[in-house]
Structure formats: C-alpha cells, structure tokens
Structure 1
C-alpha cells in the first residue's frame, strides 16, 4: 500500500515538474529565440566586417573564430576579465601574449566588443522594460518613459562633470539615479494606489525635469571633451566602447538576468492584480519594490556603458508579447534573445548608415537616434491600434 502511495506521489511530482518547464517546449518561443540569435550573428558579422579597414566576409568570419584566440584561455581571460586577473589565474607573468594576425587584432580588439556591448545593452533594456510593465501593469512602461533613464543619466553626468572620482563606479551611480527617479515617479503617481495613466504622466514629468537638469550640466563643463562625452551619454552611443565596457556590464547583466528569470512567477502573479496577488499570499509591495530594483539595476548597467538608449525597453517586450503571450516565463526568455537582436541591428544601422549615405568611413550616428527613429513611429502605431492602450 505504501509503495503505491509513494508511486503516485512520484508521478504527481513528475507531472508538476513537467508542467513547470512546459514553456521550454513552446514552438513560438523557440522560433523567436532562434530567429533572434540568427539576427545577432548576421548583424554581428556585418559589424565586424565593415569599417575603415575593410575585409571580406570569410576573412572576418575567420578572425572571429581564430583558433589562436579561442583555443588560448589567456586571450579569453584577458578580454573578459582583464589582464591583471588573467595573469593571476594563469600565472603568465612578465611576458607578452603571442602576436595575432592583423584581421584578428582588429576584430577582437575593436569591433567584436562593440557587438557584445550592444547585445548586453539590448538584453538589459528589454528585460527591464518587461519587468516595469508587469510591476505597473502598464504596457507603456519602460525605463525611458518612467524616468529611470533620465535619472540614471543625470547621475552619470554629475559623475563626469562634477565628481570625476566616481567614474569607476558608474553602474552603482546610475542605479542610484534610476532608483531615485523611479521612487519620485511612484510617489507622484500614488493616490490610494496607482494607475497606468498616472504612472506614465508622472514618468513624463520626472523625465522632462531630469532631462532639463542634464542640459544644465553642460554649462558647468569647461572641457570640450567632457561636453562631447556628455552628449554621447544623453543620446546613447556605442562609439569607442571596448572590452572595458564589456567587463563593466557583464557581471551586472548576469545578476539581473538571473534574478529576472527566477522572478517570472512573481511577475505573473502581479499581472493578476493586487487583490488576487494578496489572496495568493504575496506581499505585493515588497515584491513590487524588489522587482523594481532588478529592473533599475538592469537599466542602469546599460546606461553606464551606452548612455540613454530610448524605446528598446518599450518595443521589445511588446513585440515578444505578441508572439509568445503574456506568460513571463516565456516573455523574459524571449526578451533575452530579442533585445540583443534589435540593439545589434540598430547599432549596425548607426555605424554603417552614414557610411552608405555619405561614403565616409569615420562618421556614425548615435545608436539612441536609430532606436528613437524606430520606437517613435511604433509608439504612435500602438496608440492608434489599441483602444485601451496602457493596461496589460
């Protein structure tokens, strides 16, 4: 008798486990992830192929997969962890690494880290927007619209212009600014609870004020180089990024993405409404605060390396939602793939658009302009298409 009971319990546990991970076998999700990964590879290959030093596609592809780099852990550790940690881990002291081919040097030292940064930025912004949309139950919510981007950008500009000693802690500084901005938005929108309309309006107000303060910071910068750097932050740019930026954003990306995936169930519960969530035993305010912290961290990590890139956090979650539905177990995974696809594609357009139009090899648009040109019309399309725009 006891063996039968234990068998039934094991079967129930197995069925529950299979149901819990059934979303992994969703064909639409798999197709979305595969298509997004293919786009990242395709546009990444375009990114590493074209530039002032031109090379053929096979040569660029060969440089990316050069065994001299991929089969030598010293190079990989040097790129992703830095030379100091590489030498500490491998014990490789007092010597220079072997010389690489010219194409490999150009691809790995200059062009490929830009692809990695673009992918991580897109991933962070997409997941951040998806979390904010669940927390506020508003499909128009995003780090940009809710003022988080403006708050983080303002703190970064303060670090660049006034407190230059804090530049080594840009992700933390950006997270602080984004957190303050979101708390102000939430406080303004609170009136016996919040509503999608009040949150969006409060975000527009706070974002406008913080953007004005960002503009005012330019008058306190005496160095023209600092002004140019500040402009690149406010418009969103990947110009000049390298492995240092990869090392800055990578640990924060891993942390925030892991927390987002593990929080999918709580995000689904929040979509049911506060009363239902409380009936299920969820402490709504604590969960909302914690999830908002994850979203702010993800957005701040992106802003710390690329500046204020608009509309990615709004567009990607909505596009993924139209394909896989509103289940956050699927939505978060979809954003992990679709965000990098959009960002890498936009960065290719930003870098090569001027080259195609003018024939120059040096000029390029800030990537934030490209995402704004994509996101603005799409935002208007949403407004025209949906009568009850706002609530999920």
Structure 2
C-alpha cells in the first residue's frame, strides 16, 4: 500500500511539471550547458601565460576567491559598489593575496567567457523576438539594420564624443531604435510583409555601414581607428569585467525577464494580425513594445562586443527545430543555445590561427553564411512564419 502511495505521489509531482518543460528542451539546456562548460575549460587553459589545465581550474575554483564575498563583488561590480555592498551587509573588506594564476584567470580569461555568454544570450533572444514581431523567419538584428544602427551610434561615440564612452549601451540602444524605425517606415505600405522588411533592412544596413566607413576618415588617432574596426567586425579580445558590468544589468533586468513574460504575446502574434486583434490584442502597441525589448537586448550585446552577425538568425532556427514554435520553450532555449554558440565561436576565433586571434564576428559569419544558404535550399517558401 505504501509503495502504491509513493508511486502515486511521484506521478502527481510529474504532472505538476510545466507543460512547456519537456525532454527536448531539457536536452537542449543540458547540451548547451556542456558546450559552455567545455568552452570555458579551453578558454581558461590557454593563453600567453602558460599553465596546465589543473592549474587553470584550480584558479577558477580558488577557495580564497569563493570564500570571500568581497572579492567576488569586486570582480562583478567594481571596487566602489563592492565596498558599499560589503559595508551595508557587514562583510569584511580586508585585502587578500591571490596567486598569479588566479589573477590571470579571473581578470583576463574568465571575463571573456562571461561576456561571450551574455552576448550570445542577448543576440539569440533579440533574433527570436524580431522573428515573431515581423512573422519573418529571416529577421534578426543584423538583417533588420538594428546592428548597423547601434554600431554607427557606437562609432560616433568613440570618434566624436569619446567622453561619453561609459554610456555606450544607451547610445547603442538609441542608434538601433532609429534604424528599426526607419526600416519599419520604409517597409510600411498598408501593413508590412516579410519581403519588404528584409529589403528595407538591407537598404538601411547598407547606408549605415557606409556611414560607419566614413567615420574612419574623421578619426585622426590610429588607436581609435583600430578600436572602431574591432567594433564593426565583432570581437571579444581584450574584454574584462568592465564589459561584464555594462551588459549584465541589461541582461538580468531587461532581456531575460521581459522575454519570458512576453512569450504569450509572441505566440499570439504568430497567429496573424486578424487573429491577434480578435483576441483583444493591441497589435501595434505590443509589436513596438516587444521590438523595444529586442532592440535593447541587441544593443547591449553590440555595446560590448561590436557587430556580431548571424547569431540572432541561426540560434532561433536551431532551437525552433528542436523544441518547436512555442515561444515559452523557444525563449528559454535561446537563453542557453545563444551562449553555447558564442562561446564555441570565440574558442574557434582564439585558437584557429593561434597565436593570432581573429574577431569572433568572422567565425559566426563563416558559420551563418552556409547555414543561411542551407535554409534557402531546404525550404521552398522562405520568409513568413
């Protein structure tokens, strides 16, 4: 009798699991997490300073770091905020001695992995939202001109208004918003269509890319020019905790919560405008609100890594093929698959021509181009979802 009761309880608990949490999503989450873990292992183990894999991972799990909250707070939030938080919660602010290996891993190698994961997360979710908002499977921040608009705003900040470099995410968001509004205005003719949106995105991207090239002529400092080139090709080289602090708040308080909360509205938009209106949705308001979330997510990623193409296009497609079109599962899948692609691509960018490092945007482009051609060959009707 007790055994029957236990089996009944187990079955009851299984029935309480959310309907969207199925085996395919769990497989994707676990597989993506393993890719990120393996990529992290590679990234922290190789570099100009030679150390064994054992030394690298001993540095990652250094008890001096993990047993001292103030040290972790300094890495993630900076010394000023860390000291304020430590004082508020009564934590010790005494300095600690870290080994050379720990300093190298935590100050140079680990931040690059964290930035890559956050960039992949934001770009993947941004692409997924844009594809639902436009009902166009070709939509992505890169193709719709958002990336070019954000990139142009960043170059203007670096070249002309260098004193405002700390506000890069805000300027990137403004540039991406302007670009998307222009694309939507060009594509609008008693409504929009997938083909017009893509064509308008190509036009705006081309114009903004030309303006980016023109910005190089205004930069007299060769260092600024090199920095600008890194932004336009997409690179994680030289990223540190400062970039983590720039993108982390946008990811935690904008991208993740708002995309999950909006999954129901995204599912309704996929049904078409007439059906959405019949269900009581204010389509245009919801569409622009969700586009704002996608723009903020893409702009946050571009502000720390530059223009990384095809991530917002590839990841939603791959996740959709695995977990289906329900946006609750799709968004959560993108939150894990996006980091996996970016971390893996950055490993390739770092080791492909070792010791020379190539921009990660080149690797994603080399992967995304063939995949885009594969989609064109596989589907007879490519465009509207």
Q: TM-score, normalised by structure 1?
A: 0.92
SS of the residue corresponding to residue 142 of structure 1 reads coil
SS of the residue corresponding to residue 205 of structure 1 reads helix
SS of the residue corresponding to residue 272 of structure 1 reads coil
Cα deviation for residue 274 of structure 1 reads 0.3
1:98 equivalenced with 2:96 (yes/no): yes
Partner of 2:160: 162
Partner of 1:332: 331
Partner of 1:53: 49
Cα deviation for residue 340 of structure 1 reads 0.1
- Once residues 174 and 42 of structure 1 are traced to their aligned partners in structure 2, the CA distance between those partners, rounded to angstroms, is 31
1:366 equivalenced with 2:377 (yes/no): no
Partner of 2:8: none
Alignment partner of 2:192 out of 183, 194, 201: 194
- Once residues 299 and 157 of structure 2 are traced to their aligned partners in structure 1, the CA distance between those partners, rounded to angstroms, is 14
Are the counterparts in 1 of residues 70 and 91 from structure 2 also a CA contact under 8 Å?
no
Partner of 1:345: 344
Cα deviation for residue 95 of structure 1 reads 7.4
Quickly say closer, same or farther: Cα 1:263–1:55, change in 2 above 3 A: same
- Once residues 22 and 369 of structure 1 are traced to their aligned partners in structure 2, the CA distance between those partners, rounded to angstroms, is 39
Partner of 1:389: 382
Cα deviation for residue 380 of structure 1 reads 0.7
Partner of 2:34: 38
- Once residues 333 and 261 of structure 2 are traced to their aligned partners in structure 1, the CA distance between those partners, rounded to angstroms, is 14
Unaligned runs of 5+ in 1: 1-13, 356-360
- Once residues 161 and 104 of structure 2 are traced to their aligned partners in structure 1, the CA distance between those partners, rounded to angstroms, is 34
Partner of 1:8: none
> Deviations along 1:11-59, whole A, 9 cap, x unmatched?
xxx9xx958x3112x0000000000001000011100100111222222
Partner of 2:307: 308
Match runs of 1:196-211 below 5 Å: 196-211=194-209
Alignment partner of 1:74 out of 70, 73, 77: 70
1:176 equivalenced with 2:174 (yes/no): yes
Cα deviation for residue 165 of structure 1 reads 2.0
Alignment partner of 2:19 out of 22, 30, 41: 22
- Once residues 97 and 266 of structure 1 are traced to their aligned partners in structure 2, the CA distance between those partners, rounded to angstroms, is 49
Cα RMSD over matched residues? 1.7
Cα deviation for residue 101 of structure 1 reads 1.2
Cα deviation for residue 96 of structure 1 reads 6.4
Cα deviation for residue 314 of structure 1 reads 0.2
Quickly say closer, same or farther: Cα 1:162–1:94, change in 2 above 3 A: farther
> Deviations along 1:273-331, whole A, 9 cap, x unmatched?
00000011110000000000000000000000000000000000000000001000000
> Deviations along 1:126-182, whole A, 9 cap, x unmatched?
000000000000111000000000000000000000111221110000000000000
- Once residues 94 and 194 of structure 1 are traced to their aligned partners in structure 2, the CA distance between those partners, rounded to angstroms, is 58
Partner of 2:118: 120
Are the counterparts in 1 of residues 234 and 305 from structure 2 also a CA contact under 8 Å?
yes
Q: TM-score, normalised by structure 2?
A: 0.94
SS of the residue corresponding to residue 20 of structure 2 reads helix
Are the counterparts in 1 of residues 83 and 93 from structure 2 also a CA contact under 8 Å?
no
> Deviations along 1:216-266, whole A, 9 cap, x unmatched?
000000000000000000000011100000000000011221100110000
Cα deviation for residue 390 of structure 1 reads 0.8
Match runs of 1:131-146 below 5 Å: 131-146=129-144
SS of the residue corresponding to residue 54 of structure 1 reads coil
Are the counterparts in 1 of residues 152 and 208 from structure 2 also a CA contact under 8 Å?
yes
1:321 equivalenced with 2:320 (yes/no): yes
Cα deviation for residue 97 of structure 1 reads 2.1
- Once residues 39 and 91 of structure 2 are traced to their aligned partners in structure 1, the CA distance between those partners, rounded to angstroms, is 37
Partner of 1:83: 79
Are the counterparts in 1 of residues 69 and 91 from structure 2 also a CA contact under 8 Å?
no
Cα deviation for residue 93 of structure 1 reads 11
Are the counterparts in 1 of residues 126 and 140 from structure 2 also a CA contact under 8 Å?
yes
Unaligned runs of 5+ in 2: 1-11
- Once residues 22 and 56 of structure 1 are traced to their aligned partners in structure 2, the CA distance between those partners, rounded to angstroms, is 45
- Once residues 183 and 332 of structure 2 are traced to their aligned partners in structure 1, the CA distance between those partners, rounded to angstroms, is 28
SS of the residue corresponding to residue 156 of structure 1 reads helix
